[in-house]
Amino acid sequence: QVQLVESGGGLVQAGESLRLSCAASGFIFITNAINWFRQAPGKQREWVATITSGGSTDYANSVKGRFTISRDNAENTVYLQMNSLKPEDTAVYYCRTVIGWEYWGQGTQVTVSS
């Protein structure tokens, strides 16, 4: 079955970096776009970044220039490199793919202290 497993979250100080991973299985990874979303306490889940099957990328304005999404098709993994982190980046980060319907991972917590 389709599985997405996020990892790499943690507690960092403002200005530091983290790299999140999304390991995928159960589908033909190379043909699917993967998205990163995040949800802060008390807020709606919001889109962060997308990478298409062809490697094109797009970012929310709030992270553009600081975050980079990439994929390793040999490892069936998508990464989210997060630099210059801010306290407002604190959230649970999820990866998602759509194959008929949406599939989500369990999320990984990112906490940025000021």
Q: What is the C-alpha end-to-end distance of the chain, expressed in Å?
A: 40
Q: How far is CA 8 from the centre of its chain?
A: 10
Q: Enumerate the β-bridge partners of residue 14.
A: none
What integer pLDDT is reported at residue 67 of this predicted model? Answer: 98
pLDDT tens digits, 10-49: 999 999 999 999 999 999 999 999 999 999 999 999 999 9
- Residue 82, H or E segment: strand 77-82
